[in-house]
Amino acid sequence: MSAVDVVVMAAGKGTRMKSRVPKVLHRLAGRGLLEHVLDCAAGLQPRRVVVVTGHGAQQVEAAARAAAQVVGIGQCDAVLQEPQLGTGHAVQQATPLLEDDGICLVLNGDVPLIKPDTLRELVQACGGERLALLTVELPDPAGYGRIVRQGNAVQAIVEHKDATEAQRAIGEVYTGFMAAPTRLLRGWLGRLTNDNAQREYYLTDVVRHAVEDGQAVAAVRASDALQVEGVNSPHQLAQLERALQRRIAQRLMDDGVRLADPDRIDVRGTLACEGDVEIDVGCVFEGGVSLGEGVRIGAHCVIANARIAAGALIQPFTHIQGERAGVEIGPGAEIGPFARLRPGARLGEAVHIGNFVEVKNSTMARGAKANHLAYLGDAVVGERVNYGAGSITANYDGANKHRTVIEDDVHVGSNCVLVAPVTLGRGGTVGGGSTITKDTPEGALSVARGKQVSIAGWKRPQKQAKPQ
């Protein structure tokens, strides 16, 4: 089979999105529409990909290159289509970059849910020899190009605006996806004119030229309409988002994940789950998240870039934001409700983090606890440490960040300020309300606050009686 060269049309403005952001960069399940399309294309191992840009060309080109790297496309280039004179004109801009021996597969940058298997079928139908179209039967075909057949043979695609009443009654429409031998396509594109209702160079007119040349045109029917649905408005974007999330939820449940409600989960990245995972309603997962055996996630958690080990319990309203450094949660840990874990939080086995506790760039060893209203930043916390309510590491001196080391079995009382850099020696205790500025010795009680004084028989001031 010939090599596949992919052309992605992404020059359109997307007027109905009413947005400054180029249409193909709007996000679906956390990734740009164009990235979805390129990811699908990558499944065919194309020889090269050419993205046709126009509106927001620089932004779209940069996004295309970044996405190509993510999805593993080796060669991805952009060509500028300026002005935009139609879909045929768009593909004309790309063909000079393509070699004659290949199959040109045309994709739409704004149709994100197309599946690699469908494209493979289309490429196979082309076979390096004939034009192949992806079509779909729609209950309401208004607006689409109609597939006009004579007997069974495809004769033409007629755009809605150019169609007769009889043609408008046809339910089979062109999806915007085609595959053609590049050498033949080049010739057909050269014969396009803009002699039509929209004064555009229609890509769909290549069908007529193929037929004129006596070439058979193959039509592959898409199995479901969802895969070929385009995004033109915020409403359509939201509809595709829900449809995609339902697909993801179904896959998770097929793998045994128990979702309290498959309509109330959002996965904007990859969520890998081991056995017996339970996820309550309203949770959002971003980037790469993995959940070990038996992990339970309470309602309304937002979890990004985190690895959560077996048996951990994440209570409701917890925010885990791993970003690049990631967050790791050990086996059997209990986090939340209302906890906030930031990049570089690495929590060991059976660590407890309670409400309104923030942990950033800190490791906590097995059995350490910070249960209420506390901050740990740039800290190394030993095993079984108990970190009191309201205590904080003062890790930032206005210019630099410093480390706090809390050794095994230390007990930090409530409302302490640990001014970093500082080390609290193993087994020590820090009295509540202390501001610790010096290292503390092992096993000692350290108190750093005004001493309590009691004055016996102290008389409070009395109000003077007012003269009558």
What does the binding site for ligand UD1 look like in residue numbers (CB under 6 A)?
9-12, 52, 54, 81, 84-87, 89-90, 108-110, 144-145, 157, 159, 173-176, 202-204, 230
Q: Token pair for residue 73? A: 């496309």
Binds 145: which of Mg ion, ligand UD1, none (CB < 5-8 Å by kind): ligand UD1
Binds 2: which of ligand UD1, Mg ion, none (CB < 5-8 Å by kind): none
Of 203 and 279, the one with the shorter C-beta distance to Mg ion is: 203
Residue 228 phi/psi, 5-degree rounding, is: -110, 10
Question: For this structure, is 372 an active site residue?
Answer: yes
Which is the catalytic residue, given 160, 300, 319, 372? 372
C-beta of 128: minimal distance to ligand UD1 in Å?
Answer: 23
C-beta of 112: minimal distance to ligand UD1 in Å?
Answer: 11
- Residue reference for tokens 């020889």: 47
Of 159 and 407, the one with the shorter C-beta distance to Mg ion is: 159
Rounded Cα distance, 63 and 69, in Å: 10
Of 236 and 415, the one with the shorter C-beta distance to Mg ion is: 236
C-beta of 176: minimal distance to Mg ion in Å?
Answer: 7
Of 6 and 297, the one with the shorter C-beta distance to ligand UD1 is: 6
C-beta of 92: minimal distance to ligand UD1 in Å?
Answer: 10
Binds 349: which of ligand UD1, Mg ion, none (CB < 5-8 Å by kind): none
Of 157 and 180, the one with the shorter C-beta distance to ligand UD1 is: 157
C-beta of 45: minimal distance to ligand UD1 in Å?
Answer: 23
Residues 207-246 that bind Mg ion (CB under 5 A): 230
Which residues here bind Mg ion, judged by CB under 5 A? 230
Active site residues: 372
